[in-house]
Amino acid sequence: MSLAVMALALAAASNAPAPAPASPVDGIWHNPKNSVAVKTGACGDKLCGWVVRADDEAQADARDGGTPRLIGTALLREYRPSGRRKWSGQIFVPDMGRTFGSTLTLVDANTIDVKGCLIGGFLCKTQTWHRG
């Protein structure tokens, strides 16, 4: 009898829907200076990224900008897919204490371009981050 129950359980499991695939930008990313590491992942139905490591200088700059605790801070906020290999959301810049419109572009499996813009896509800065 237990063999039949196992067979039924296995059959039911094989018919279960597969979990949704993770975003190709989920993971840990390092900024160009390797002074900050950000872990990206789901936040509800959006993509976000939180600081998981920061060197002393980055933490001091954040404190000077009004962010007392950099580790755990969400830098990447509410990104949604906005094209092939591209997401749009907001980036928080701790040393300025401000949030800007932003895009993430997946360059390859281990590289993303993070772009932040002041107003309507003007005065932009792009950084290339690498997977850690």
| Domains, in order of start, for the chain | 24-131 (2.40.128.520)
pLDDT of residue 90: 97
pLDDT of residue 13: 37
**CA atoms of 16 and 63, how far apart (whole Å):** 48
Which string of b and e fits 31-45 if b means at least 16 CB within 10 Å?
beeeebbbbbeeeee
Chain segment 34-78, per-residue pLDDT in tens: 999 999 999 999 999 999 999 999 999 999 999 999 999 999 999
pLDDT of residue 67: 97
**CA atoms of 5 and 3, how far apart (whole Å):** 5
Q: Which of 57, 64, 99, 106 is nearest to 78 (CA)?
A: 99
Place of tokens 């993070």: 114
> Vertex 22, ends 72 and 74: CA angle to 5°?
15
Mean per-residue pLDDT, 21-31? 89
Place of tokens 């200088």: 57
> Vertex 131, ends 31 and 25: CA angle to 5°?
105
Chain segment 13-24, per-residue pLDDT in tens: 334 443 445 789
Is this structure's pTM higher than 0.75? yes
Task: Kindly state the tokens that stand for 18.
Answer: 């597969």
**CA atoms of 46 and 43, how far apart (whole Å):** 5
